[in-house]
Amino acid sequence: MRAIIAILAGYIVGSIPFSFIIARFVGGVDLRKTGSRNVGGSNAIRTVGFVPGLTGGLLDVFKAPLVPFLLNHLGYPLELQFAAGLAAVIGHNWPLFLGFKGGRGVACSLGLLLYFAPRELIFLLVIMGISMLLREAALGAFLGYTLMIPFAILIGESRPTIAFLILLYFILMVRRVSFVFEDRKRGLDTKKAIINRILYDSVEKVKLERPL
């Protein structure tokens, strides 16, 4: 029962759409109806400004490890901390408070990696940084998360940590692919939609996109 409560707590905290709330409070803007229509920090920055958008993005980053941090200090096992953290990412992607239509989970995942796997986070940020310089941010995120798993194996991470990274990767990719259903309703080719969503997180190849 305690494990179920911990996981539900992670999901509920992850469901709190901080960027959406700040954009609504500061600019009276519904992020679901403007810009990229993403409820993450990147759309908030473009819509209501750098400071409020960044604030929302940072809150989305640090909400993910909050429940795992508390569980750690209460003496709960690492595996349950992992589960609660992953539940937070699921909550961000499919939030209870926004009709289960949320962000991409990248911001939340960065918070989890900072807490659980800082070496993998540095590896990921290097790849994402290079990709942003090349104007391929979304593709860089895909490559970074994909290569992060063999990197973790190479540096000798524990099996639970590697399993956590694989599950995190799976959640992020499922969120990207989930948009294919909307693409098909618009008459787009399924194969092309899947490729664009996985590689570029977009209907078509879009540069400078920063999925949060």
pLDDT reading at 207 higher than 90? no
208 within some domain: no
Is 46 domain-assigned? yes
Q: In whole angstroms, how far apart are CA 139 and each of 12, 21, 70, 133, 174?
A: 29, 28, 34, 12, 16
Closest to 98 measured CA to CA, from 198, 21, 166: 21
CA distance 190 to 173: 16
pLDDT at 136: 83
Q: How far apart are the first and last CA of the chain?
A: 32
The C-alpha atoms of residue 200 and residue 202 are separated, in whole angstroms, by 5
**What range defines the domain where residue 59 resides?**
2-200
CA distance 97 to 46: 23
Quick one: 40 exposed, middle or buried, by C-beta within 10 A (0-12, 13-18, 19+)? buried
Q: Is residue 176 part of a domain?
A: yes
The pLDDT of residue 124 is 96
Is the residue at 205 inside a domain?
no
Segment 175-191 shows an average pLDDT of 76
Task: Tell me if 178 is assigned to some domain.
Answer: yes
Which residue carries 């759309």 as its tokens? Answer: 43
**Is pLDDT above 60 for 212?**
no
12-26 pLDDT, tens per residue? 999 999 999 998 988
At residue 78 the predicted structure's pLDDT band, cuts being 50, 70 and 90, is very high
Residue 80 has pLDDT above 60, yes or no: yes
As a whole number of Å, the CA-based R_g of the chain is: 17
How much of the chain, in percent, has pLDDT values that exceed 70?
A: 94
Mean pLDDT across 82-92: 97
Examine residue 206 and state whether it is found in any structural domain, yes or no.
no
For position 202, what pLDDT does the model report?
73
* Residue 211 included in any domain: no
- Please give the structure tokens belonging to residue 42: 């990147």
pTM: predicted TM-score of the whole model, two decimal places? 0.89
**Structural domains of the chain, count:** 1
Cα angle vertex 109, ends 210, 196, to 5°? 45
Q: Which of 38-47, 59-68, 146-155 has the lowest mean pLDDT?
A: 38-47
- C-alpha 210/C-alpha 212 separation (Å) is 6
Lowest mean pLDDT among 47-61, 139-153, 178-192: 178-192
Distances (CA, A) of 121 to 12, 43, 116: 24, 23, 9
pLDDT at 151 over 80: yes
Residue 146 has pLDDT above 90, yes or no: yes
Q: Is residue 207 part of a domain?
A: no
